[in-house]
Every structure is written in C-alpha cells, then in structure tokens.
Homo-oligomer: A and B are copies of this chain.
Amino acid sequence: MEIEIKIDPKLDLVFERATTIPVEKLWKGWTHPETLMKWFCPKPWRVTDCRINLRAGGEFFNVMEGPNGEKVDNHGCYLEVVENRKLVWTGMMTKGFRPAPANPMGFHFVGTILFNKTDKGTSYKAIVAHADEEGRKKHETMGFQEGWGKAFDQLVELMGGK
C-alpha cells in the first residue's frame, strides 16, 4: 500500500521524481554513510563526514564542505524509520531527541522521504515541513528545488539508473 502524507502548501516544500532505481538502492543511498557521502550534496560541494544510527532517536550527522573552504556541520535526529518505505528526520533535535540550538539559517524543518515501489522502479517524494510560511519561503528562495534536484540526479547516476 502506498504511503501518503497530507501536504500543507503554505508550510511544506515537496520534491517528487519517478526513477528506474529500485527502492532498496535509494534506501541504501539515504542510510549507508559511505554511499550517502557520494551524492547527498550538489557538486562542487561535498559531504566529508557522515554518521547514521538508523532508528527513531538515532543520530543523522553530516558535514558539508564547499569549494572555498566553507564547512557546515549538520546535526540531526531520526524520528521514524520504515525500511525501504519512509524516512523522517529533523535538525530540530540531535541524537536522543535532544532539542537543538537555533539554526543559523533561521529556520528548521522536518524532512520525510517516501519511497513507493512502482512497475518501473520507484516513485520518490520528499516533503520538507516548516514551522511557518517565512521558513518555507526562505528555504524555497535558497534554491530548494534546484539543490534537491541536482543531488537526486547524482544519486540516480551513482546507482546507474535514470
């Protein structure tokens, strides 16, 4: 049965794609640190460190580095893990559901990735929920669709699909 989530267009950004890559490979891309590091950040940025403790309350940590020496540490916490189906995490908390300090970007979000198996591969949907419209707009203006699109293309290329 397909997992669906109610979208609030004022607060949520949605990124959706159909791909020939099977759900198991996309799941590995999201949950295996060495694999995630290969695609998660649009080039020329790259992920230089990653820790994943794949359970509700477990740590999701990664470091993004830019071409001019920029460095961003992303501390997060998984909220829900349904193998090959659904992954929910947030930067509002660090491991063990500990509240995180304010985000320098000025907004926090909860990300949900839905992996739905299809005849041809996977229907992939990311829902990124914000606390208010201001946060959603800021994230949108920062280039959400372009960034998530480039990263996803890198994942598809890595897995040898289309």
Q: Which residues of A contact B (CB under 8 A)?
A: 5-6, 8, 11, 56-57, 79-80, 88, 90, 92-93, 96-102, 108-110, 112, 129-132, 135
Contacts and interface: CB of A to CB of B under 8 A. Distances in A.
A131 B110 contact: no
User: Copy number of this protein in the oligomer?
Assistant: 2
Given A92-B99, A93-B110, A101-B132, 18 more contacts: A5-B96, A6-B96, A8-B98, A56-B56, A79-B79, A79-B97, A90-B93, A90-B99, A92-B92, A92-B93, A97-B110, A97-B112, A97-B129, A98-B129, A99-B131, A99-B135, A100-B131, A101-B131
Contacts of A108: 99
Instruction: Identify which of A97, A109, A130 gathers the most chain B CB atoms within 10 Å of its CB.
Output: A97
